[in-house]
Chains A and B, each alone.
Chain A
């Protein structure tokens, strides 16, 4: 089955889209500013004779056309972290500030978690949740390699996330912790947008799976809105093109929880969210979401939306 064919009506230049999906992507690393500066990381890459090219829209991202990120001095020191270029988008959009309370709802293996910790300057509380113990071990290892000290890791289903472990000192057992200032909901998805990294990403694609996982995505997004304070920010992102996992999930949250979608700037080319798909229509405001197609910026595919929590 040709999965990508189903998006022909959505994509502006479908031939360019298809061609881009077939090109492999270079390795990209993000500089970990908890341990060094972009300038020194660059100097260390030069010293190690590793070719590196800035990606343009983000100061701390470098493409490594000839190398893998793992075996060199800047990696050993935790100065660089391998991360696909578009996967740096949602943490940048969430824009957490030092000292805030932030939830990373589907955190493992921790690329976005460590990026959030760096944006927070390692201050405040960053709760990183995952439901898989094996992946949590990778998350912890990456957080430690980054030198992050503000990350609290929980093993639970994000749909039932509890604030109780994060109650303030000297409060009674069973008290809820304060709600979050911001939450990142970068959910498990059908991963179509990673096709350039994983050529077999679509081999096991099934519509049933898309519908099933969409239910999980709705649950996680709702819990994130419930645990974020009024006026707080929630960013929803996936690496899939499927409207069932993107706009339909936003539409559901808009109907069920106190929130609205808000505009945001992104220095990357993108298309707006779609309001209709296979006979279903979505709230007009889903157009504020951004669809990043592989041919737009020569990256992986991605979807990102920004929500504000409103009064009940």
Chain B
């Protein structure tokens, strides 16, 4: 994997119109504030217990400030197109936040910070509503699961604070089930 594109003499900045491959490590970082591939892998592992090898077949890209995409192939960086794989993580803020789509696709592999809901609670969550629930794990972003067709399935992302699970389901994905 090659390093990031060097944008010239002045200090390179993030360019929201193109995808830039994440640098592998700190040593290869050129754009200030850009997370590294190693940091992204560590984050999924530390927060959710998703093993780094889960993403062995994927390259990671940033477009827009802090929006990270997982792509199943590799191309030369940067690339100025409309989409490259799956938007799967929001970084460059105190608490990184996974997307609903990332959790539905990769959340099966999670071992930590997974809150399992009854079907009725999960329906409240999918409708976009907040609810009071007991949870004795870490506060912050959790993977929400429920049983569908006799197995636990990742549904989306909730924010747990002060005894409350706040639904993070984006408006376009909410449904009254």
Contacts and interface: CB of A to CB of B under 8 A. Distances in A.
Contacts of B175: 70-71, 75-76
A150 B105 CA distance: 13
B20 to A, nearest CB: 13
Contact of B81 (A70, A148, A153): A153
B83 A77 contact: no
A44 B76 CA distance: 41
Contact of A170 (B2, B80, B82, B104): B2
6 residue pairs, one from A and one from B, having the closest CB atoms:
A153-B83, A150-B72, A43-B149, A147-B105, A153-B82, A149-B85
Given A47-B148, A125-B73, A149 B79 contact: no
B177 A147 contact: no
Interface of B: 1-2, 21, 57-58, 70-77, 79-87, 99, 101, 104-105, 126, 148-151, 153, 155, 172-173, 175-177
Contacts of A76: 126, 155, 173, 175, 177
A151 interface: yes
Interface of A: 34-35, 40-41, 43-44, 47, 70-78, 122-125, 128, 136, 139-141, 143-145, 147-155, 165-171, 173, 175, 177
Nearest to A77: B153
Given A71-B175, A128-B83, 10 more contacts: A71-B177, A76-B173, A136-B83, A140-B82, A144-B86, A150-B85, A153-B82, A166-B79, A171-B76, A173-B76
A80 to B, nearest CB: 12
Nearest to A130: B82
Given A77-B148, A123-B72, A149-B70, A165 B81 contact: yes
A164 to B, nearest CB: 9
A12 B70 CA distance: 50
Contact of A136 (B58, B77, B82, B87): B82
Contacts of B172: 141
Interface centre among B81, B126, B172 (most CB of A within 10 A): B81
A76 B176 CA distance: 10
Contacts of B86: 143-144, 147-149
- Residue with the highest number of chain A CB atoms closer than 10 Å, among B58, B77, B175: B175
Contacts of B148: 44, 47, 73-74, 77
Contact of A122 (B72, B149, B151): B72
A151 B83 contact: yes
A148 B58 CA distance: 12
30 contacts: A35-B104, A35-B105, A40-B151, A47-B148, A47-B149, A70-B175, A73-B148, A73-B177, A76-B126, A76-B175, A77-B104, A78-B104, A122-B72, A123-B72, A125-B72, A140-B82, A143-B86, A149-B58, A149-B105, A150-B71, A150-B85, A151-B85, A152-B81, A152-B83, A152-B85, A154-B82, A167-B76, A168-B74, A170-B76, A171-B76
Contact of B176 (A71, A73, A140, A170): A71
Nearest to A43: B149
A149 B87 CA distance: 9
A291 B104 CA distance: 39
